[in-house]
Amino acid sequence: MNFQREYLGYYIHNTADMLWLWYDYHTEIFDRSLPYTVATPGDETGVIPTRFPYTIWSHNNAQKLLNDIYGIAKAHGVSEEEMFRAKMSEVRGRSSSQDRIDLFLNLDKKGQFEFIKDMNN
């Protein structure tokens, strides 16, 4: 069984997709750790903080991770255009936060994110 195909109905094809999956996982896990959150509109498995200072913390975390993935993308020869296409992909947009978390965890167990961990050390 191919977990990606069976679970989400698609494959992660490239580095840009992997970087956005990593970003989505880390931003969602961080936001879930904050108090005063509500379900994301259109995705009851995602959360967004609703009170200060948690909204600022969430934003700052997302900005830091965004800078990280764009730096890693550049180091791996992934263009900003490729990153934008992956960010805006229909598949990413229609998958739930929990689906993406589960996919991340499955791929992380297989060592698929070592290229990111190596860049962050």
So what's the pLDDT on residue 121?
54
Give CA–CA dist 103/27, Å, rounded. Answer: 15
Residue 1 pLDDT exceeds 50: no
Residue 7: its pLDDT value, please? 45
> What mean pLDDT comes out for the span 30-37?
96
User: Residue 91 above 80 pLDDT?
Assistant: no
- Check residue 13 and give left, alpha or beta (phi > 0: left; psi -120 to 50: alpha): alpha
Per the structure, the complete domain to which residue 37 belongs is given by: 3-119
The domain total for the chain is 1
Residue 39: is its pLDDT beyond 90? yes
Torsion of CA 94, 12, 98, 56, to 10 degrees: -90
Quickly tell me which residue has 């750790």 as its tokens: 33
Has residue 108 got a pLDDT over 80? yes
Q: What is the pLDDT of residue 4?
A: 46
| Residues pairing with 43 in the sheet | 40
